[in-house]
Amino acid sequence: MIRPRLAVTIGDINGIGPEIVVRALASARVRGICRPVVYGARSILDEALKLTGVAFDAGQPDVVEITGVPGTEPGSINGAAGAFAVAAIEQAVADCLNDLVDAVVTAPISKRALELAGSPYPGHTEMLRDLTGADRVLMILADDGMRVCLVTTHVPLADVPRLITREGLVEVLRLAHRSLREDFAVASPKLAVLGLNPHCGEEGRLGHEETTVIAPALQQAGNEGVDVAGPFSPDGFFARYTPGSYDMIVAMYHDQGLIPLKLHSGGEGVNITAGLPIVRTSPEHGTAFDIAWQGRASAASMIHAMETAVRIVAARKASNAEIGT
């Protein structure tokens, strides 16, 4: 079996991205399942290798050199690092769209550094949507026994209620159902949907979105063949949750879904962008500027992100082959 080629972007060079990239690529289990191609600069990799003391026993990975590499300033948030991170992502995505690599695995970037670089995007998810021309994408965080997707992502909490619409939620449910089948090889996906308000609104006393938006969306998706249950009150749902009892949990906003997921994963979960024409994964955590370039960063989530990308590539090939027959 030919090992897939993974484009690995180096992330914000002033964060922990370079450290976790070299640690992951020094892992025998990673190099045994893929052929990594780093998008960044070999000079930054060499710095990170010296810092961490790890070695590439399987040989140096291929590197696509991104021009304009700035000097590292550990813990600094600046536009030069943001622009370099964006350029690496753009090149990796372009190469994946052109079938030069099979998937993209992204190290963490800084939203503030992106802003300082003049980027209009609040994060990877929205950037990847536009770079690939996808109509709608879905942010999924996953670990063993729990997958969570988000109806709204990087928006102020005050904006969440107006952004949750019946049509939008139905589309999220369709995307989650399709991703589970095509990316995770789940034959009969089961989805659980959380409410927005405390106690699911208490029949309108604490909010009305559950009855006017969420329940009708669940009914419509169910009529289309999506196996979906809810809405559930989030506190009670997670208190009773058994790993694997649902294939996907649909959360209304960022922290509602990701706090329980990250507690469950212990910092080793994976971020997946569904709905793209390419495969993209990343670690669940951020740049961790406070510990950057101290040799303390764990590569566990990055390793899992690379393993997940390999599995999704295989699952999509199998799904496409099945459709072709």
pLDDT tens for 177-194 read 999 999 999 999 999 999
At 77, which amino acid appears?
Answer: I
What is d(CA 136, CA 276) in angstroms, rounded to the nearest whole number? 8
- Summarised one tens digit per residue, pLDDT across range 254-278 is 999 999 999 998 888 999 999 999 9
To the question of pTM greater than 0.75 for the whole model, the response is: yes
The overall longest dimension of the chain from CA atoms, in Å, is 63
- Summarised one tens digit per residue, pLDDT across range 22-43 is 999 999 999 999 999 999 999 9
What is d(CA 292, CA 290) in angstroms, rounded to the nearest whole number? 6
CATH H-level superfamily of 135-273: Isopropylmalate Dehydrogenase (3.40.718.10)
Domains of the chain, residue spans: 1-133+276-325, 135-273
For domain 1-133+276-325, give its CATH number from 3.20.20.70, 3.40.710.10, 3.30.110.70, 3.40.718.10: 3.40.718.10
The DSSP-derived string for 262-282 is HHHHTT--EEEEET-SS-EEE
Q: In what order do the strands lie in the sheet with 190-194?
A: 62-65, 35-40, 5-9, 103-106, 280-283, 270-274, 138-143, 146-150, 248-251, 190-194, 227-232
Note the pLDDT of residue 325: 43
Name the residue among 28, 24, 22, 25 with its Cα closest to residue 49. 22
